[in-house]
Amino acid sequence: MQRILEPELMSDEEQAIAYANADFEEPHNHFIELLKESVGDGLPDSGVALDLGCGAADISIRFAKAFPNYQIDGIDGSSAMLTEGEKAVNESGLLERINFIQANLQDTNLASKNYTVIFCNAMLHHLHDPSVLWNLIKTAADNPSVFVMDLMRPESDKQVDALVEEYAENEPDILKRDFRNSLKAAFTPDEVVSQLSSAGLNELDVSVVSDRHFIIFRQ
User: Is 95 part of a structural domain of the chain?
Assistant: yes
Span 152-170, average pLDDT: 96
In the chain, the number of structural domains is: 1
The sign of the dihedral angle between the CA atoms of 187, 191, 193, 199 is negative
Q: What is the dihedral of CA 112, 115, 121, 122, to 10 degrees?
A: 20
Domain that holds residue 45: 13-218
pLDDT digits (tens, 9 = 90+) for 71-117: 999 999 999 999 999 999 999 999 999 999 999 998 898 888 899 99
Q: What is this structure's pTM?
A: 0.95
26, with CB counted inside 10 A (0-12, 13-18, 19+), is: exposed
When comparing pLDDT for 210 and 23, which is higher?
A: 210
Is the dihedral angle over the CA atoms 148, 151, 155, 159 positive or is it negative? Answer: positive
In a domain, 7, yes or no: no
Bridge-based pairing state of the strands 47-52 and 70-76: parallel
**Element (DSSP H or E) covering residue 206:** strand 205-208
6 part of a folded domain: no
On whether residue 163 sits in a domain, the answer given is yes
Task: Check: CB of residue 115 under 8 Å from CB of residue 140.
Answer: yes
4 located within any domain: no
| Residue 1 is assigned to a structural domain of this protein | no
Give the per-residue pLDDT at 29: 95
Q: Interior CA angle at 31 toward 27 and 35, to 5°?
A: 165
The CATH code of the domain that includes 100 is 3.40.50.150
